[in-house]
């Protein structure tokens, strides 16, 4: 049996471990996943998940800057959000996640943490960036944030 990506022989020990495999190696399997499921092309060439995440954050930052927003990037991987944008006079927290489009349904699949630490979820695929809520609804998010601050329901602390 030969690999569907590079045409090399798939060795019996790999077939024993992965009976339904169509690839000769993890590298070829990642390439197959990228072509089949729209997964990040960066992972297919062997980049680490951290590097793929950084690329996604930079893609979103560039997209938002070209739309006229001021963008600020977290300096630590342990921050509660990846980016902060200035929209009018309000700051909005942005969580960036890498996703992929399922070939079977056409829907975007993303593994993400809880979103309550951010106001906007930006999901990057190989070809697009999808924002939740949509950009047209960000003014509503601004109003909700202003109401929380006025009512004292924010999670801010005094300095």
Confidence at 144, pLDDT banded by 50, 70, 90: low
Where on the phi/psi map is residue 152: left (φ > 0), alpha (ψ -120 to 50), or beta? left
Q: Each residue of 90-138: pLDDT tens digit?
A: 899 999 988 877 666 777 777 655 556 788 989 888 788 989 887 777 7
The mean pLDDT value of the chain amounts to: 77
* Residue pLDDT, tens place only, 74-86: 998 888 899 999 9
In the chain, the domains with their CATH numbers are 49-151 (3.40.1350.10)
The model's pTM = 0.63
């Amino acid at each position: 049996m030969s690999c569907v990506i590079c045409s090399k022989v798939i060795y019996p020990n790999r077939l024993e471990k992965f009976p339904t495999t169509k690839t000769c190696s993890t590298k070829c399997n990642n390439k197959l996943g990228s072509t089949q499921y729209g997964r990040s092309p960066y992972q297919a060439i062997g980049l680490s998940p951290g590097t793929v995440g950084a690329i996604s954050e930079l893609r979103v930052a560039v997209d938002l800057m070209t739309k006229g927003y001021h963008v600020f990037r977290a300096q630590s991987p342990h921050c509660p959000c990846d980016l902060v944008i200035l929209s009018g006079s309000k700051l909005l927290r942005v969580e960036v996640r890498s996703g992929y489009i399922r070939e079977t349904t056409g829907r975007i699949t993303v593994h993400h943490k809880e979103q309550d630490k951010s106001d906007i979820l930006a999901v990057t695929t190989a070809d697009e960036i999808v924002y939740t809520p949509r950009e047209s609804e960000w003014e509503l998010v601004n109003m909700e944030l202003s109401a929380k601050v006025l009512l004292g329901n924010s999670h801010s602390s005094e300095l």
